[in-house]
Amino acid sequence: MSQGVDASVFYRLISTFGHTAAQTKSSYPDLPRIPECKMKNILTLLVFLSLLTGCRDKASDIRSDHFDLIPLADGVYACIHKLGGQAICNVGIIDNGTETIIFDSFLSPEAAKELPPLAERLGLSPIRYVINSHAHNDHIRGNQVFSPDTDIISTSKTAELIAKWEPEEIAAEKNYAPVEYARADSMLKAFSGDTSSLEFQNLRLLHPYFATLARSHTDVQTRLPNVFVNDTKSLDGPMRKVQLLTRGAGHTESDLVLYLPDEHILFSGDLIFNGMHPYLADGDPEKLMEWLGYLETLEVRTIVPGHGSVGDARLITNIKTYLYDLEGIVQQLHKKGTPPDQAGEIPIPPVFRDWWLDRFFTSNIRFLYSRMAAPD
């Protein structure tokens, strides 16, 4: 078990606490009796909280320019993109007791380079697997920093898409990304408004994004997945159960999530965004809705989304509401006979107006409208 406490010690601690409680009862028979099952639950919780406190103490000493490290359970962490950093997506770190699993690998190899020494500093098991939840560049380009004996896991379709998209995207980025970076840099330096505004925060997000893309043609050496999951796969260890789950298309043509059934933690990739407009145009909205319905059947209490802060199961509902509302907007546009070139001109509904990545709203409306207008 990581953090210097192995599983046998954990259970010995529970056993010792239980034995002490029994002795106390015999010595003081007038004390109110706590049922044995409740006592075990209380003691387990106390030990877990003690271990998690140790987790938080170690995490509190770790600083990164690219992400914030959030402890979720003993040996389970979320690396949440830090505004101004080059992580861009969120990453999960999961120790199963003998092996550590990295869920997604950031956009920037520079950010990803921090993950192996971070796992070592946290006292985790050796990194054995890196999961690519889908083929978008911000979730896969850190693959290259991990040792050759680390397996990269994805669905077979995701591996195909990475092999197809990456050469095309890197070649295109060489030309357009420096231009976009210069534009974002100029706008950021010239900004004189409210620095707490959504406009400014979006600039702080896009500035390092385009800076990273502008170097992709020199920095990125595409590393493809070599192990494939096309249904479910268990990466269980003595410390916890780890499940990889896929149901095909959703956010992209193929998506993969990681679920910890005992801790009720879900690493969702871009099937779920938190407080940000999701990007729909590379996926299938109907299949995405089916995915979200499936995720609701899991007992999830904590969700690490692909983008945005850690949340609970309400994040699933939020994305479903977003899809329902955009579908309703598009249906109204279609009913009115709105020309396709005007489909993206409507304002963002108030409920989503504070969400980041607002540029995706327009592209999502146009994408959904084109699907509705296309002949069967």
Residue 201 covered by a domain: no
pLDDT tens digits, one per residue of 67-108: 999 999 999 999 999 999 999 999 999 999 999 999 999 999
Residue 24 covered by a domain: yes
Give yes or no: residues 39 and 110 share one domain: no
Total domain count, the chain: 2
pTM: predicted TM-score of the whole model, two decimal places:
0.84
Give yes or no: residues 34 and 114 share one domain: no
Residue 177 covered by a domain: no
Which helix (H) or strand (E) element contains residue 137?
Answer: none
pLDDT tens digits, one per residue of 166-221: 999 999 999 999 999 999 999 999 999 999 999 999 999 999 999 999 999 999 99
CA distances from 167 to 157, 217, 255, 311 (A): 16, 9, 21, 35
Give yes or no: residues 34 and 107 share one domain: no
Give yes or no: residues 367 and 324 share one domain: yes
Q: Where are the alpha helices (DSSP H) in the chain?
A: 7-27, 36-60, 109-112, 115-121, 156-190, 198-214, 216-219, 285-297, 314-336, 359-373
Contacts of 270 (CB under 8 A, 6+ apart): 89, 133, 134, 136, 139, 251, 252, 255, 278, 279, 305, 306, 307
Of 38, 60, 82, the last residue of a domain is: 60
SS3 144: helix
Give yes or no: residues 298 and 339 share one domain: yes
Nearest to 240 by CA among 50, 93, 133: 93
Residue 88 covered by a domain: yes
pLDDT tens digits, one per residue of 266-303: 999 999 999 999 999 999 999 999 999 999 999 999 99
Is residue 225 pLDDT above 90, yes or no? yes
The CATH number that applies at residue 278 is 3.60.15.10
Integer Cα distance of 157 and 254 in angstroms: 6
Integer Cα distance of 187 and 42 in angstroms: 55
Residue 202 covered by a domain: no
Give yes or no: residues 50 and 104 share one domain: no
Give yes or no: residues 227 and 135 share one domain: yes
4 falls in which pLDDT band (50, 70, 90)? very low
Whether the CB-CB separation of 361 and 348 falls below 8 Å is answered with yes
pLDDT tens digits, one per residue of 35-71: 444 454 555 455 455 555 555 556 667 889 999 999 9
Residue 212 covered by a domain: no
Residue range(s) defining the domain that contains residue 35 = 7-60
CA distances from 4 to 10, 11, 51, 124 (A): 11, 14, 10, 9
Residue 2 covered by a domain: no
Is residue 5 pLDDT above 60, yes or no? no
